[in-house]
């Protein structure tokens, strides 16, 4: 049974950094693009980043461009989201998803996600 598990969430002060980790079990990891989404309190879930299967092509939401970096280690079935210069608007539940493809505009990326994690909370205090 496929499992996607996020970890690394927590509380941090504005301007700080966090790294989220996503590990996929029972999944042909290197056949999937790995995505990060987030859902702020009272808002809809939004795409944050996507990294293609080979780790070469990466895409980001405009709101995190230049602050967040996604990467992956196919030998460990693990993807990462390095988050720097965090602010209160980054407070959200962060979800990892294994997708069949990225979309270069990040539009409708959710449609391509086949396996979701349960999420990890990130809270940024000012």
Would the pLDDT of 107 be above 90? no
Is 11 within 8 Å of 123 (Cβ atoms)? yes
Using 50, 70 and 90 to split pLDDT, how confident is the model at 68? Answer: very high
- Kindly list the strands in the beta sheet with 78-83, ordered across the sheet, starting from the edge strand earlier in the chain: 3-7, 18-25, 78-83, 68-73
Q: Contact at 8 Å (CB) between 60 and 83?
A: no
Is the model's pLDDT at 105 over the cut of 90? Answer: no
* Matching residue, tokens 């970096």: 69
Q: What torsion, rounded to 10 degrees, do the Cα atoms 44, 52, 112, 74 define?
A: -100
Phi, psi of 98 (to 5 degrees): -95, 120
């Amino acid at each position: 049974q496929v499992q996607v598990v996020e970890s690394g969430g927590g509380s941090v002060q504005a301007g700080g950094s966090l790294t989220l980790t996503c590990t996929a079990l029972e999944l042909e990891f290197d056949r999937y693009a790995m995505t990060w989404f987030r859902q702020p309190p009272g808002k809809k879930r939004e795409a944050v980043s996507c990294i293609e299967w080979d780790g070469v092509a990466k895409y980001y939401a405009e709101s995190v461009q230049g602050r967040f970096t996604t990467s992956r280690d196919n030998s460990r079935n693990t993807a990462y989201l390095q988050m720097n210069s965090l602010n209160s608007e980054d407070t959200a539940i962060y979800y990892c998803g294994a997708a069949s493809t990225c979309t270069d505009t990040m539009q409708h990326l959710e449609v391509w996600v086949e396996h979701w994690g349960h999420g990890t909370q990130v809270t940024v205090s000012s």
